[in-house]
């Protein structure tokens, strides 16, 4: 179960996982209208995707009546870390500073955000 490739989730899969992470549990219908995209996806598309994701170990479900109630089977933390590390290693040779530098020069970052970053780094320096 731990051996799921976590750094190659597609866009739709990620959006679905986000719904599951946010809600804890969700039926196909819940997920379907939670992702209120412009050209609305077909209901069956979401259902199929969820089935595939369960087969891949990303989600799981229980049954309520004859409705499937899905939940995430991998923690958001794990996926986030995996994908972030993948990008970090593959594109920035593992240098967090380089990555942050690129991100800082291409986005508006609020003062709060910067302060929080400072705090994190200071904290990390204290505990090696």
Between vectors from CA 16 to CA 53 and to CA 29, what angle results, nearest 5°?
A: 95
Q: Hunting for tokens 């799921």 — which residue is that?
A: 4
Report the distance separating Cα 49 and Cα 54, nearest Å: 9
**Structure-block tokens of residue 89:** 């290693």
DSSP class of residue 59 equals E
**Structure-block tokens of residue 112:** 């709060």
Name which of 45 and 101 has its Cβ closer to DNA.
Answer: 45
60 binds DNA (CB under 7 A): no
Please state the closest distance from residue 62 (CB atom) to a second copy, in A: 26
What string marks each residue from 3 to 42 as x (binds DNA by CB under 7 A) or -?
-----xxxxxx-------------xxx---------x-xx
Identify residues 73-92 at the interface with a second copy (CB under 8 A): 76-77, 79-81, 83-85, 87-88, 90-92
52 binds DNA (CB under 7 A): yes
Q: 28: Cβ–Cβ under 8 A, 6 or more apart, which residues? A: 43, 46, 47, 50, 67, 68, 70
What stretch of H or E contains 27? strand 26-27
Count the site residues for a second copy by CB under 8 A: 40
97 binds a second copy (CB under 8 A): yes
Report the distance separating Cα 22 and Cα 126, nearest Å: 33
- Among a second copy, DNA, none, what binds residue 121 when CB lies within 5 to 8 Å by partner kind? a second copy
Please state the closest distance from residue 85 (CB atom) to a second copy, in A: 7
For DNA, the binding residues (CB under 7 A) are 8-13, 27-29, 39, 41-45, 47-49, 51-52, 56, 65-68
């Amino acid at each position: 179960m731990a051996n799921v490739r976590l750094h190659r989730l597609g866009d739709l899969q990620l959006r679905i996982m986000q719904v599951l992470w946010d809600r804890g549990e969700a039926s196909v219908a819940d997920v379907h209208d939670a992702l209120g995209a412009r050209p609305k996806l077909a209901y069956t598309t979401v259902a199929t995707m969820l089935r595939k994701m369960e087969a891949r170990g990303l989600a799981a479900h229980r049954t309520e009546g004859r409705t499937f109630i899905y939940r995430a089977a991998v923690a958001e933390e794990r996926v986030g870390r995996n994908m972030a590390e993948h990008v970090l290693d593959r594109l920035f040779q593992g240098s967090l500073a380089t990555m942050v530098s690129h991100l800082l020069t291409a986005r508006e970052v609020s003062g709060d955000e910067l302060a929080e970053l400072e705090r994190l780094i200071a904290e990390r320096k204290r505990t090696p």
